[in-house]
Structure 1
Amino acid sequence: MEKRNIAISLPSTGEEEWQAAREPLMTGWLTQGPKVAAFEEAFAKRHQVPHALAVTSCTTGLHLALAGLDIGPGDEVIVPTFTWIATANVVLYCGATPVFVDIDPLTYNLDISQVAAKVTDKTRAVIAVHLFGRCLDIDALRAVLPAQVAIIEDAACAAGADWKGRPAGSLGDAAAFSFHPRKSVTTGEGGMVTTSNPELAERMNQLRSHGASLSEEQRHLGPRPYLLPEFNLLGFNYRMTDLQGAIGLVQLGKLDGFIDERARWAQYYCEQLADIDWLRLPTTPQGSRHGWQAFVTYIDPQKAPMPRNDMMEILQAKGISTRPGTHAVHMLAYYRERFGLKPEDFPGARDCNDHTMAIPLHNRMSEEDYAYVVEAIRQLR
């Protein structure tokens, strides 16, 4: 095989995004303004929610949702152990306590059967991660929770995904999405928070702009732009720029096409790699749509011809980028030391931390690229 260089992920951007960025640059409206508003409206419509608020990242979006629910010291928030560290960090930002629950190794999502045992009278919310674009069964999660416990979707990977026809972002009390370049659509950095709760939406809207009672767009376009707004809340500066909003509008228009293309190539991987007995492949729940932010496999350490890291090194030498699926937060130094956690405390997350491998899946790969990846994996012996 002739060596290729295949990135784990590349954003699919081009002339349309370049042209979209021109208008904010020419008008001089660079901070949150009309392009962000248009992006929010289109995103809300696509994900079937009445409220969408653009923010600087999924991390700040999750923080905003927790702050909007007034979660703070003395409160507990249930978090899966196999996720990006930000999912747990935002709980600490609020002064609350993250309570870890193990994951289902077959889906990489929260093991719902273990949740009820972790609920206490201090539990205020569960952060339900739709990892790699596969939605968690929110109906099953809700069934084991007291009514007063909020569900916040960490939908960082799940733009365009759905659970039995209901879009990610419309399933819980609030949700946060990411537009990082490794996601299916991007604005560079950036994120979106969604909710169907008008009071929560209004509170988050104020909090993302320093706690101002009026947004800058409302003030500048209103009859008295020279007057500063009132500040009734201690807020943050989590506003998206209009440059990002303009690019996001274009990217959002391509979202479904991007996911459809990824789904076809995910199916190709599943067909071509199905007979490798040491490699477990991801699945899609019946009647639901996977977002396919990443194609994450599991390498069975009992059957594999070599350790996962050795495989990744061989594939890297052949020009194929891979990554661990993500990390087990309870095994990271800060959480391990602060909370006295051990790897064996959450065996599902520990095993996925050590044995998952994401292979390239994105909208800038060619048919030859996919065939090359398949052949390289089949040669691992």
Structure 2
Amino acid sequence: MDTQVKPERVVQIALPFMGDEEWMAVREPIEAGWLTQGPKVAAFEKDFANRHGVPHALATTSCTTALHLALAAMDIGPGDEVIVPSFTWVATANAALYCGATPVLCDVDPITFNIDPASAASKVTDRTKAVMAVHLFGRCADMDALKTVIPPHVKIVEDAACAAGATYKGIAAGAIGDAAAFSFHPRKSITCGEGGMLTAKDDVLAARAQVLRNHGASVSEEQRHHGPQPWLLPAFDELGYNYRMTDVQAAIGLVQLKKLDDFISERDRRARWYADALSDLDWLHTPALPNDGRHAWQAYVTIVDPSRAPIPRNELMARLHARGVATRPGTHAIHMLGYYASRFALSPDDFPGARDCERNTMAIPLHNRMTDEDYAYVVRMIREAAYA
């Protein structure tokens, strides 16, 4: 195909779904003049906590800062180890480094893309303080299996960046481990531009995170301004961070959260359609449906079987791009990234599951702004590109 020819249509890998409700929602904080963390953030936190069945939710600037905040609130620091699956976005491992701890990588299950409990168990030492259970692409990790092989004193932090609205055996993501972090990046099911959420069941952990999120202040800005002496600054008894979400973001998040279940239901229907429409391609493996919960379908990630595919994955992705269909690798293998490979003397074969996932996964468009025609076009272009 001539790459200069304009494609019939363009289908993006992801697009946020917003409308007049979100547009109108931001007017209130703008008109009120309360733009930083305030009443909208508090309302968003309350609704998110209720939706995910947890007593505490703290809005943050990103999922990355929520992960860092969770580890910091657990007093994880230098000399401690945090087990991280290698097939995940680099932020999962970076959060451990931000605390001065050591990220210890383990392998993943190439079918679910999630942490391999046996590999994680093999990495436990007397310095292990936490395990990051990533719910990649919206499918919850096998948390029961993980809890079986991980010592009870080791904290389990859910990296639920992709998993708002997902469930595992009837329990919502974010309410399974000791703490969890969610993302509201535009590629996620719901978004407020940037932003994250830390959830926790433990009162002490949540209280500590609350202080650390706001520079280490003893009370929040909203509490101080609405208190009896707003002119006095709070106490600062420990080093904290500025990880506060704005009320403008939270106003959007409140509207988006109300749409979450409808978004996921539509994505699930489309995912099942993809599985059927692509079932005759023996070289393209579609993601397996979980039998232990609800997949949130943040992304639809296939595997291009290198032993059967008519062309290499990267060539297929290039041809699809020329035809207007955006694709991406599922994510990267952390142990193959330059910084981690160099710092920790890692090689690609150290974690073969993660290595193969990086090399062979291909996410195809799945989002709530796609039409029937878009989905049909994606499938038709996959066939055309593969056999052109």
Shorter-chain TM band: over 0.9
Residue 42 of structure 2, aligned match among 22, 37, 41: 37
Secondary structure of the structure 1 residue equivalent to 2:16? coil
Name stretches of at least 5 consecutive residues in structure 1 with no aligned partner: none
Which aligned pairs between 1:71-82 and structure 2 lie closer than 5 A? 71-82=76-87
Which residue in 1 is equivalent to 2:60? 55
Residue 233 of structure 2 is aligned to residue 233 of structure 1: no
Residue 114 of structure 1, aligned match among 119, 132, 142: 119
Greater mean deviation of Cα atoms: 85-94 or 1-10: 1-10
Which residue in 1 is equivalent to 2:347? 342
Which residue in 1 is equivalent to 2:179? 174
Residue 24 of structure 2 is aligned to residue 19 of structure 1: yes
Q: Is the 8 A contact 2:7 2:322 kept in 1?
A: no
- Deviating beyond 3 angstroms after TM superposition, the runs of 4 or more aligned structure 1 residues are none
Residue 311 of structure 2, aligned match among 306, 312, 325: 306
Greater mean deviation of Cα atoms: 243-252 or 277-286: 277-286
Q: Is the 8 A contact 2:137 2:299 kept in 1?
A: yes
**What is the CA distance between 1:275 and its match in structure 2?**
1.2
Which residue in 2 is equivalent to 1:102? 107
**What is the CA distance between 1:232 and its match in structure 2?**
1.6
Which residue in 1 is equivalent to 2:8? 3
Output the CA distance in 2 between the equivalents of 1:233 and 1:305: 59
Secondary structure of the structure 1 residue equivalent to 2:294? coil
Which residue in 1 is equivalent to 2:69? 64
**What is the CA distance between 1:44 and its match in structure 2?**
0.1
**What is the CA distance between 1:285 and its match in structure 2?**
1.4
Paired AA for residue 53 in structure 1: L
1:12-57: per-residue Cα shift (whole Å, max 9, x none)? 0111000000000000000000000000000000000000000000
Which aligned pairs between 1:210-221 and structure 2 lie closer than 5 A? 210-221=215-226
Paired AA for residue 134 in structure 1: R
Output the CA distance in 1 between the equivalents of 2:356 and 2:120: 19
Residue 270 of structure 2 is aligned to residue 262 of structure 1: no
Normalising to structure 1: TM-score of the pair? 0.99
Which residue in 2 is equivalent to 1:291? 296
CA RMSD in angstroms comes to 0.9
Output the CA distance in 2 between the equivalents of 1:20 and 1:218: 23
**What is the CA distance between 1:376 and its match in structure 2?**
1.1
Paired AA for residue 156 in structure 1: A
> How many residues were matched structurally?
381
Which aligned pairs between 1:333-372 and structure 2 lie closer than 5 A? 333-372=338-377
Paired AA for residue 64 in structure 1: L
Output the CA distance in 2 between the equivalents of 1:98 and 1:352: 20
Output the CA distance in 2 between the equivalents of 1:63 and 1:374: 39
Residue 163 of structure 1, aligned match among 148, 156, 168: 168
Residue 206 of structure 2 is aligned to residue 201 of structure 1: yes
Output the CA distance in 2 between the equivalents of 1:115 and 1:34: 41
Residue 348 of structure 2 is aligned to residue 378 of structure 1: no
Secondary structure of the structure 2 residue equivalent to 1:63? helix
Output the CA distance in 1 between the equivalents of 2:103 and 2:292: 32
**What is the CA distance between 1:284 and its match in structure 2?**
2.0
Paired AA for residue 141 in structure 2: L
Which residue in 1 is equivalent to 2:3? none
Output the CA distance in 2 between the equivalents of 1:21 and 1:85: 32
Paired AA for residue 250 in structure 1: V
Which residue in 2 is equivalent to 1:133? 138
Secondary structure of the structure 2 residue equivalent to 1:378? helix
Output the CA distance in 2 between the equivalents of 1:141 and 1:287: 14
Q: Is the 8 A contact 2:299 2:363 kept in 1?
A: yes
Residue 90 of structure 2, aligned match among 85, 94, 102: 85
**What is the CA distance between 1:2 and its match in structure 2?**
6.7
Secondary structure of the structure 2 residue equivalent to 1:176? strand
Paired AA for residue 97 in structure 2: L
Paired AA for residue 181 in structure 1: P
Output the CA distance in 1 between the equivalents of 2:259 and 2:126: 44
Paired AA for residue 187 in structure 1: C
Output the CA distance in 2 between the equivalents of 1:189 and 1:283: 29
Residues 2 and 60 (structure 1 numbering): CA distance in 2 closer, same or farther, change over 3 Å? closer
Normalising to structure 2: TM-score of the pair? 0.97
Q: Is the 8 A contact 2:7 2:324 kept in 1?
A: no
Paired AA for residue 255 in structure 1: L
1:268-312: per-residue Cα shift (whole Å, max 9, x none)? 000000111001111221141001000000011000001100000
Output the CA distance in 1 between the equivalents of 2:383 and 2:312: 15
Output the CA distance in 2 between the equivalents of 1:60 and 1:248: 17
Output the CA distance in 2 between the equivalents of 1:198 and 1:228: 25
**What is the CA distance between 1:250 and its match in structure 2?**
0.1
Name stretches of at least 5 consecutive residues in structure 2 with no aligned partner: 1-5
Residue 286 of structure 2 is aligned to residue 281 of structure 1: yes
Paired AA for residue 162 in structure 1: T
**What is the CA distance between 1:378 and its match in structure 2?**
2.0
